Amino acid sequence: MISRIVVADDDPSAREGLRALLTAWGYEVGTAPDGRAALDMVSAVRPKIVITDLVMPSMTGLELLTVLHEQEPELPVILLTSHGHLDMHVDATQQGAYAYLRKPVDVATLKTVLASALASPADSEQDPLEVMTMRKRVVSLVTDDSPLPDRDWLDLERLAHVEVSSEDPAHPIESALVPGAEAGWRAAQPGRQTIRLIFDRPQGLRRIWLLFIEPDLARTQEFALSWSPDRGQSFRHILRQQWNFSSPGAIREVEDYHVELSGVTQLALTIDPDQRGGEARASLAQWRLA
């Protein structure tokens, strides 16, 4: 069966170029000049995938993503933009984008992402519980809270540089990433923040270990991890996790995951410190990789 794709882009040449490419790959393609037209087309043709530009008049790609995620939560939405920015990637992944690709789109990357989206549980008729179990096999929780000895972790100072959306000068990001540091990282401003590790060379990852500490404020935190195989051209979701901090019994959150990732060029950690909003500042005591 031919898979239908809806493409939304206000640039006629970009829209037509993508339509021609996808048609040559054997897809049935409908196009729309903005988000509102794309929304109407999705209701009419019931596509398997939506590809949308981020910046459009009438309804932006993020606004379209939000509506589609509410109406069709299992429909993969791929965001395209020539305005690549850390905050845009954060918004896209937090709101449920399947992938986030920068223009000009790498053809091989797009082809891989489309194949993955069509093979995802959203396109199967399996029992939802069985699908959920399959999706959890790649990332399994490690019950031992004890980190590895320092010598067994990756030397992030040597292997990567870091981008961070906010930083308290008294609590720099190095305090969370470098073994032996005590203070940990803390944002200078409240609200959602992102830390992105950019590796000098592609890395294989088998373990991700995180420690959060909140001794004072009762709050519900959510964080998300994603990774890029292509220097930030696209990102793939790893997991999203919530935790309720409350003193005195639940002031530490230790997350220890086994993963099987190869060719990792960037690793992004997004932290929303309080689901209720407010003035809570994101913090991270330790982050280790192996």
Q: In the structure, what pLDDT confidence band is assigned to residue 95 with cuts at 50, 70 and 90?
A: low
**Is the domain of 238 the same as that of 196?**
yes
Domain co-membership, 111 together with 144: no
* Same-domain check for residues 168 and 285: yes
Same-domain status, 211 and 246: yes
Confidence check: pLDDT of 181 > 90: no
Inside any domain, residue 134: no
Asked whether residue 129 carries a pLDDT value surpassing 60, the answer given is no
Report if residue 221 sits inside a domain: yes
Is the pLDDT at 260 greater than 60, yes or no?
A: yes
Is the pLDDT reported for residue 179 higher than 90? no
Instruction: State the amino acid at position 245 in one-letter form.
Output: F
Last residue of a domain, one of 92, 127, 162: 127
Task: Evaluate whether 104 touches 234 at the Cβ level (below 8 Å).
Answer: no
Each residue of 46-77: b (16+ CB within 10 Å) or e? ebbbbbbbbebeebbbbbbbbbbeeebeebbb
The residue out of 127, 148, 178 marking a domain boundary is: 127
Supply the CATH number for residue 28's domain.
Answer: 3.40.50.2300
Are both 117 and 145 inside the same structural domain? no
Both 116 and 49 in a single domain? yes
Give the predicted TM-score (pTM) of the model: 0.54
**Does one domain contain both 255 and 155?**
yes
Mean predicted lDDT score pLDDT of the chain = 84
- Return the top range by mean pLDDT from 119-123, 219-223, 254-258: 219-223
Both 28 and 165 in one domain: the answer is no
Q: Could you report the per-residue pLDDT of 145-156, keeping only the tens digit for each?
A: 445 555 589 999
pLDDT at 22: 95
Mean pLDDT throughout 71-80?
Answer: 90
**Are 248 and 144 members of one domain?**
yes
244-258 pLDDT, tens per residue? 998 877 899 998 888
Looking at the structure of the chain, the number of domains it has is 2
Same domain, 48 and 148: no
Residues 120 and 235 in one domain: no
Higher per-residue confidence, 102 vs 137: 102
Which residue in 202, 204, 193 sits closest to 164, CA to CA? Answer: 193
Q: Give the mean pLDDT of 104-121.
A: 80
Percent of the chain at pLDDT exceeding 70: 84
pLDDT in tens, 9-34: 999 999 999 999 999 999 999 999 99
Structural domain harbouring 62: 4-127
Q: For residues 122 and 179, state if they share a domain.
A: no
Closest CA to 205 of 228, 224, 186: 228
